[in-house]
Structure 1
Amino acid sequence: MWRILLAYKSTVLALILTVLVVYVFFVAPTPNATGRVITRDDTGETMVFAPGATPSPIHTRFGDGASAINATPDGRRTVRIVTTTEAIHEPIESATVETVEKPKVTTPTTVITPEPDTTTNPTPTTVTKPPVTDPTPTTPQTASYSPLKWGVYAGATPTTIAEFERRIDTNPDYLAYFVHWGNDNGKLPAWLASEAAAKGRTLVLFWEASDHIIGGTNQPAYSYDRILAGDWDDYFADFADQLRAYPGQVILIPFSELNGNWTPWSGTLNGNTPQKAVAAWQYLHGFVGNISNVKIGWAVNAASVPDTAENQIENYYPGSAYVDIVGVDGFNDGPPWYSFAEIFGGPLTTLSRYGKPVMIFSFASAEGPKKADWMRDGFFNVLPQYPRVTGWVWFNQNKERNWLIWSDQNALAVFKEAIGEE
């Protein structure tokens, strides 16, 4: 027996070594780098990690194959070999192997799309739009524009009003007129009633505490002190009767532009102050504030002159109980040339805070190469930003400047477009 073994000792040794190699590499459990055990299942396609085990840093090459880590219901982790090509196990010190915990059943709320190859074309996590370098639109935003109610001061005679209607070929919603306390007995002219009311227009009355024949600002008889002393009570009562008898609707505007310094009722002249202006307004309201066909309008100037803390718009507001409509007057009289937003943006923002309807009671632009552009920007870009604005009145006169709407054919075309005529 021993002679036989010795005769074939090389063959026997080779057989023993073969068995040991097969056992070590293909049968016996192999400890991983963490000391946990990795076994291979009988299909030769899955590597199974014991429950609670963490895969050690082992890099597995499958030639043309691939692998995926999954969890089994009993808590084990498996590595599935897609192809049956033989795996070669190499310890890689710097490698990391992703582990997958036991899956949780959840309802997906988002759709996850595959990520692009970030090695050549990385995708940013957020997308931002470039900043707008020119915030001023170059074209009117007509898609969101709808014509407001509009009106005109076309002069103080039936002839000038007729001329305006002929050129514009339509009737305004508002017809403006100036009534001075010290002239024409401070009364409404008879022709105005038929001109406005018969055509269904609302009369916008600027009720001026002055004598325009005397002119100037030095008219202390119209100061707030004299009003509060009762000097004008009889006139107030008589004018209130005229308003009640008027057959149409009226917006009555006392003390317009009272934060300017060019009228006798200015809050900084003739002993006046903003506090006295508020008191006089509330006093006057007792005569004309409760007439069914009359709304009371409060009109400030777009810029306070002088521009002092005391003379700011807010200091003249008489209170919500004494005002139905708030509004502003402003003119682009150039030079220098001011944009519509530069003139009206600030006051419109202030007025909108009062929770009242807002109007531009009197405005216009001087003649110039950009008059039409100024109007277009105002009508179609600026005013739509102020939803409380309900209407406007164009001051159509050729006085200190040529405010006429037909001084420029392009301006006339923009005007007609704004009122819905083109």
Structure 2
Amino acid sequence: MIRKTLLALCVALTCLAGGSGCGVLRGDDPAARAAREPAAASSSKAPADELPYDVTPLLHPDKKYFGVAVDGAPSSMKPVDTFARTVGKKPNLVGSYSSWGDGFNAKGAENVFHDGGLMYVSWEPFKPGLDKIADGSQDTYIKKYAKSVRETNVPVAISFGHEMNGHWYPWGTKDTTAATFVKAWRHIHDVFQDVGATNVVWAWSPNVINPVPSVKLKPYWPGDAYVDWVGIVGYWTMTGAHTFETLYGPTRRQIAKFTDKPVLISETSAEPGERRRADVRALLGGVEQDDGVLGFLWFNIPKRADWRIQSSPLALAEFKRLIADDAFGFEVPRS
């Protein structure tokens, strides 16, 4: 019943408020299922005395990230290759979803890295609860996950507990507190540091504030020392905002009051309909023109709406035209 309730809330918010695509809708994603298996033996195990991959050059590169989440990736890169052929450019950021308790998808991280990109993990703590993470009782799991990240030794972006300012997830406003979220985030980060897993880009990713204007973001901020990117989740819907400023601006202005970390549109898509071509133009144009925005990650999975760009020929043509700009895409350095 809880899962069904979460699903209903999530769908309603997506359709009415320009909210997220919602992890609940993605629970059967093959990439997520693959990540639940123990991490496969990595071909790039890092010796104990080898320095971890230095993510510093990835934090604010000269060009924009062009990301995508597609069914089956990154455990396989074939879906990414198909998407690249569809839009005419290869993404350099590949989204994935991992529930708390899943093993680190080392194979997926290596696949993306060896293809010139960065794996972005939305780490979803559906259970046992943020309080159990914050108090150290989950440390055996966290250490195992962090050690796998360290041993794989390729760059990885991790977003823990995304959309924490919403009420549709168990780590959100309904079932826990901002203070507990911050404590859990800092504890996870500290464990990763302790095991030497510094090859992580930490992305703090609230939902756009439009559907939850009364929830202030600052109490959820772990602090500049614990975060590398601000990721903003915000979808273009038929009934929501239809300019880059009206969709993302209010959230960005609130965040700018407590941090100047660079911003990534960490999950987005445009709902099919008569405005979709214009929404694509507003998204890509806004990202390209805004020096404070690192790029975007497009959710290209059909869940309750057909978010795939190829489902709308006119919007696809606009996407292809704009993504061809030299501002988008670069190859992640191998060392």
Determine which structure has the larger strand proportion and give its number: 1
Choose which of 113, 119, 122 in structure 2 pairs with 1:197.
Answer: 113
Relative to structure 1, is the Cα distance of residues 343 and 253 closer, same or farther in structure 2, using a 3 angstrom cutoff? same
Structure 1 residue aligned with 2:159:
253
Work out the CA distance in 2 between the residues paired with 1:246 and 1:149.
Answer: 22
Q: Deviations over 1:275-321 (max 9, x none)?
A: 2111211111111246332111100100265432xx21222111111
Structure 2 residue aligned with 1:383:
287
Work out the CA distance in 1 between the residues paired with 2:234 and 2:273.
Answer: 17
- The two structures have a TM-score, normalised by structure 2, of 0.71
Structure with larger RCO (C-alpha < 8 A, sep 6+) = 2
Contact kept in structure 1, 2:81 and 2:90, CA below 8 Å: no
Structure 1 residue aligned with 2:90:
171
- Alpha-carbon distance, 1:154 to partner: 1.1
Q: Deviations over 1:324-374 (max 9, x none)?
A: 111200112333564433211111233345121110100011001111111
Choose which of 262, 268, 275 in structure 1 pairs with 2:179.
Answer: 275
In the alignment, structure 1 residue 262 sits paired with structure 2 residue 181: no
Q: CA RMSD in A?
A: 2.3
- Alpha-carbon distance, 1:405 to partner: 1.1
Determine which structure has the larger helix proportion and give its number: 2
Work out the CA distance in 2 between the residues paired with 1:191 and 1:169.
Answer: 26
Contact kept in structure 2, 1:332 and 1:364, CA below 8 Å: yes
Contact kept in structure 1, 2:269 and 2:307, CA below 8 Å: yes
Contact kept in structure 2, 1:147 and 1:420, CA below 8 Å: no
In the alignment, structure 1 residue 363 sits paired with structure 2 residue 268: yes
SS in 2 for 1:345: helix
Letter in 1 for 2:125: A
Unaligned runs of 5+ in 1: 1-145, 211-220
Structure 1 residue aligned with 2:247:
343
Identity over aligned pairs, percent: 27
Q: Tell me which structure has the larger Cα radius of gyration.
A: 1
Q: Deviations over 1:35-64 (max 9, x none)?
A: xxxxxxxxxxxxxxxxxxxxxxxxxxxxxx
Choose which of 220, 224, 229 in structure 1 pairs with 2:130.
Answer: 224
Letter in 1 for 2:282: D
- The two structures have a TM-score, normalised by structure 1, of 0.57
Structure 2 residue aligned with 1:105:
none
Work out the CA distance in 2 between the residues paired with 1:337 and 1:312.
Answer: 20
Letter in 2 for 1:199: D
Work out the CA distance in 2 between the residues paired with 1:418 and 1:322.
Answer: 34
The count of residues paired between Structure 1 and Structure 2 equals: 259
Q: Deviations over 1:236-288 (max 9, x none)?
A: 0001011112242111110111001111111x233x11121112111111112
SS in 1 for 2:233: strand
Contact kept in structure 1, 2:118 and 2:157, CA below 8 Å: yes
SS in 2 for 1:222: coil
Unaligned runs of 5+ in 2: 1-61, 327-335
Work out the CA distance in 1 between the residues paired with 2:216 and 2:263.
Answer: 18
